[in-house]
Amino acid sequence: MGIEMHEAPATSAGPARLVAPRIVTARHLQPMARLALCLVFCLELTACREPEPGPIDYSGPVAGWSHTSGNLAGQRYSPLTQIHRENVATLEEAWRYESGDDGPTNSLQVTPILVGDALVFCTPTDQVISLDAETGRERWRFDPQVNLEGTYNPVCRGVAHAIVEAPALPAPAEAALAEAPVQDCASRIFLGTLDARLIALDATSGIPCSDFGREGQISLLAGIGDVRPGEYTMTSPPLVVGDRVVTGAWVTDGQRVDSPGGVIRAFDTRSGALVWAWDPVPDDRDPVTAEEVAAGATYTRGTANAWTLLSADAEQGLVFVPTGNASPDHYGGARAGLDALSSSVVALDAKTGERRWHFQTVHHDLWDYDVASQPVLYDQPEGAPGGAGRPALAQATKMGHIFLLDRLTGEPIFPVEERTVPQGGVVEGETVSPTQPFPTLPKPLHPHRLLPEDVWGLTPIDRSECRRIVAGLRNEGIFTPPSREGSVVFPGLGGGVNWGSVSIDPNAGTLVVNSMRNPFIVSVVPREEATSLEGTDLVGAQPQEGTPYVTLRAPLLSSWGMPCTPPPWGQLTSIDLATGETRWQAPLGNLRELAPVFGQFFRWGTPNQGGPIQTAGGLIFIGATMDRTFRAFDAETGTVLWRALLPTSAHATPMTYRLRKDGRQFVVIAAGGHFPLGSPPDDVLIAYALPEPKPSEARE
């Protein structure tokens, strides 16, 4: 027998609440026992009843959200305090906006930025929209009419903003313009598109800036060479640092050895002229220069690309680049050393593009463990190694590792150990690095191995099936090389931690990160045998043209569609940056979508994509989960304080802002689904705020 406290789901009318306990086998209890149980029941209800909210204090600071990740450092933190632990339960929907861009394979994963009093964001097909930040009313829209040929899953995660100085003018011209209106396009929005263009728009009107490139745009295909439809795109926002706008690009995984290269480029924010280009080749090879490209050369092909968000330290003049894999992902026998800078965080000089340092998180990556997370910059808190104020950087990875580095040198703040990893058993022509880097602190977010006794199933039937599947695979723990018979890749190639990255509260010295632990099966199959595998239940085949092998990838699931690993499948973790120790961990998500009747009560976490934010109000806001829920956690304890049910899952990072002293703080999340994860698409941007104040409630 027992008592299970359950939470009623949130609705648009308010947050979830604790409801009456469900009594298990109560009909079998003796009368006195039932009486005692009723007494406990009443006490539980009294203890869990929410207090009547008192008058709301609307005071607090004013702050914006100038970058997709909050600031140039990528911290995903806000100093706002109007919404805090004590009043977050009263949050209500303030407005919602639907863009109309809700194609069947689209995923709205965007985080808007605040430009003046406008929210500016992009839709999955790269339409840029400006909204009134307090009402959600549309002000302008720009549609670049992107070519979507070859695009599997249209995504745009954000735009960038810059204030651009006017070019110097001769004295007579300067005098003539002294009383002229403010220059055209002084405030501009930068957009990278799915068909590889960089576009500059006037932030007040959405009209292309005529002095940028050719009529407001430049092609990012210059110097890239042969590109197939949908193979070279921008899904993450460009980075503006000083008078440079810096771009990376997504290069489709696993297609061919000579895929487009991963060059990083910086353009002048006013003219669009190329300022520098970093060709990511090893030290023993000469990079291709911008001058050579202007003369008709092509940047080195097959190099590691940077598809996720970049960050920068403007004071130190550094751009931080998280790199992916050299091509192809799961067979390194044909890379010819081009993976020397892959799966790394690289510091570049913002003015010249020269590499200052790099730190590699995976050697000779065979697992698609590219660095998907934005590097996040902070200064070490009191009590940390090296002393308070030491410039630092946090780099999360798909392995569930978080490397804390000195951001000026790349040296680890806590020791990193090179440990022996599984060897042998690889296909002909392949090599395996004998060791891999493991951080000692923070400790890994996930187990490093799926032991046979830990293989899981919801019922004895699918548990038995999972054990049979795992027994037939190579399974020696993290960094087990891909093999012909199939290897367990755990954590899976989606993470660990993906593009949602981490949030850092610079005042509290805490890092918060969401992660998942969903293993994959990766098989490397001789090309001549691959055709016989068509039509199987394996998902994701990579042709790896130019090699003797095809790669087959599938999530490790039972035929019921349930994970073969024990829960939690998604979690939220808080880490003390001074000590590197874990403060708390909490499951992230429930099974409402998998089991609509009772799944909401199984707090086992779900696969998740998207990121968290922290506020000075002591809160963590995050969507990311498969259960269509937007949550607020207590940053000190990891307790859920508020939740709202969304039209579809929110695989985006939220943002927050307050425009004026007499205004409300808004928290905004994009609910757009996730096509690859099977979550239905939508096109909704929703803003939450405290209730409108009554006349008797003073605002600061």
Q: Which of 17-26, 344-353, 533-542 has the highest mean pLDDT?
A: 344-353
Q: Concatenate the DSSP letters of all residues of 523-572 into one string.
A: EEEEHHHHGGGTTSS---EE--BTSSEEEEEEE-B-TTS-BSSPSPSEEE
Evaluate if residue 42 carries a pLDDT over 80.
Answer: no
Tokens of 71: 């600031």
Evaluate if residue 348 carries a pLDDT over 80.
Answer: yes
Evaluate if residue 699 carries a pLDDT over 80.
Answer: no
Evaluate if residue 33 carries a pLDDT over 60.
Answer: no
Cross-strand partners of 268 = 244
Write the single-letter amino acid at 334. Answer: A
Evaluate if residue 334 carries a pLDDT over 70.
Answer: yes
643 contacts 629 by C-beta, under 8 angstroms? yes
Beta-carbon contacts of residue 366 (< 8 Å; ≥ 6 apart): 329, 330, 331, 332, 430, 432, 481, 482
Q: pLDDT-based confidence at 538, cuts 50/70/90?
A: very low
Evaluate if residue 176 carries a pLDDT over 80.
Answer: no
Evaluate if residue 637 carries a pLDDT over 60.
Answer: yes
Strand 244-247 vs strand 250-251: parallel, antiparallel, or unpaired?
unpaired
How many whole angstroms separate alpha carbon 318 and alpha carbon 1?
Answer: 61
Strand 666-671 vs strand 684-689: parallel, antiparallel, or unpaired?
antiparallel
Beta-carbon contacts of residue 285 (< 8 Å; ≥ 6 apart): 300, 337
Q: Concatenate the DSSP letters of all residues of 161-210 into one string.
A: EEE-PPPP--HHHHHHTTTSPSPTTSEEEEEE-TTSEEEEEETTT--B-T
List pLDDT tens digits, range 128-169. 999 999 999 999 999 999 999 999 899 999 999 999 987 665
Task: Say what the pTM is.
Answer: 0.89
- CA dist 564 → 304, 471, 519, 542, 604 (Å): 32, 12, 8, 24, 13
CA-atom Rg of the chain in angstroms: 26
208 contacts 200 by C-beta, under 8 angstroms? yes
Q: How many CA atoms are closer than 13 Å to the CA of 36, on its beta-carbon side?
A: 6
pLDDT at residue 27, as a whole number: 30
Q: Concatenate the DSSP letters of all residues of 588-608 into one string.
A: ---STTTSTTTGGG-------
- Mean pLDDT in residue range 446-470: 93
Instruction: Identify the burial level of 330 via C-beta atoms within 10 angstroms of its C-beta, where 0-12 means exposed, 13-18 middle and 19 or more buried.
Output: buried
**Segment among 23-27, 103-107, 406-410 with least mean pLDDT:** 23-27
**Segment among 75-84, 427-436, 538-547, 624-633 with least mean pLDDT:** 538-547
- Mean pLDDT in residue range 281-298: 94
pLDDT at residue 25, as a whole number: 28
pLDDT at residue 603, as a whole number: 72
Taking phi first (over 0 means left), then psi (-120 to 50 degrees means alpha), and beta for anything else, what does residue 409 get?
alpha
How many whole angstroms separate alpha carbon 58 and alpha carbon 48?
Answer: 26
How many whole angstroms separate alpha carbon 199 and alpha carbon 505?
Answer: 33
599 contacts 590 by C-beta, under 8 angstroms? yes
112 contacts 685 by C-beta, under 8 angstroms? yes
Q: pLDDT-based confidence at 532, cuts 50/70/90?
A: low
Closest CA to 111 of 674, 685, 653, 671: 653
49 contacts 30 by C-beta, under 8 angstroms? no
Q: pLDDT-based confidence at 595, cuts 50/70/90?
A: low
Q: Is the peptide bond before 328 cis (omega within 30 degrees of 0)?
A: yes
Instruction: Give the catalytic positions in this structure.
Output: 368
Q: Which residue has the tokens 């600071």?
A: 61
Tokens of 377: 């910059």
How many whole angstroms separate alpha carbon 455 and alpha carbon 667?
Answer: 40
Write the single-letter amino acid at 612. Answer: P
How many whole angstroms separate alpha carbon 190 and alpha carbon 313?
Answer: 19
Cross-strand partners of 78 = 615
Cross-strand partners of 120 = 113, 130
DSSP 399: T
Q: Which helix (H) or strand (E) holds 461?
A: helix 460-471
669 contacts 649 by C-beta, under 8 angstroms? no
List pLDDT tens digits, range 8-21. 333 333 333 322 22
Q: Concatenate the DSSP letters of all residues of 59-92 into one string.
A: ----B---STTSSTT---EE---SS-TTTGGG-E
Instruction: Identify the burial level of 396 via C-beta atoms within 10 angstroms of its C-beta, where 0-12 means exposed, 13-18 middle and 19 or more buried.
Output: buried
Q: Which helix (H) or strand (E) holds 41?
A: helix 31-48
How many whole angstroms separate alpha carbon 456 and alpha carbon 461?
Answer: 10
The pair phi, psi for residue 194, each rounded to 5°, is -70, -20
Tokens of 236: 């993450």
Average pLDDT, the chain: 88
Per-residue HEC secondary structure of 339-374 comes to: HHHCCEEEEEECCCCCEEEEEECCCCCCCCCCCCCC
- Provide the strand spans (E) within 413-501: 416-420, 435-439, 487-489
Closest CA to 437 of 364, 365, 326, 362: 362
302 contacts 259 by C-beta, under 8 angstroms? yes
Tokens of 457: 């199933």
Evaluate if residue 456 carries a pLDDT over 90.
Answer: yes
Cα 515–chain centre separation? 10
List pLDDT tens digits, range 217-256. 999 999 999 999 999 999 999 999 999 999 999 999 999 9
Q: pLDDT-based confidence at 36, cuts 50/70/90?
A: very low
Evaluate if residue 126 carries a pLDDT over 60.
Answer: yes
Evaluate if residue 377 carries a pLDDT over 80.
Answer: yes
Tokens of 40: 């406990």
List pLDDT tens digits, range 549-586. 999 999 999 998 888 999 999 999 999 999 999 999 99
Q: Is the peptide bond before 570 cis (omega within 30 degrees of 0)?
A: no
Evaluate if residue 453 carries a pLDDT over 60.
Answer: yes
List pLDDT tens digits, range 301-326. 999 999 999 999 999 999 999 999 99
Please give the residue that has the higher pLDDT: either 573 or 30.
573
Tokens of 47: 């203890």
How many whole angstroms separate alpha carbon 470 and alpha carbon 132?
Answer: 53
Please give the residue that has the higher pLDDT: either 458 or 419.
419
Q: Is the peptide bond before 568 cis (omega within 30 degrees of 0)?
A: yes
Q: Which helix (H) or strand (E) holds 97?
A: strand 92-98
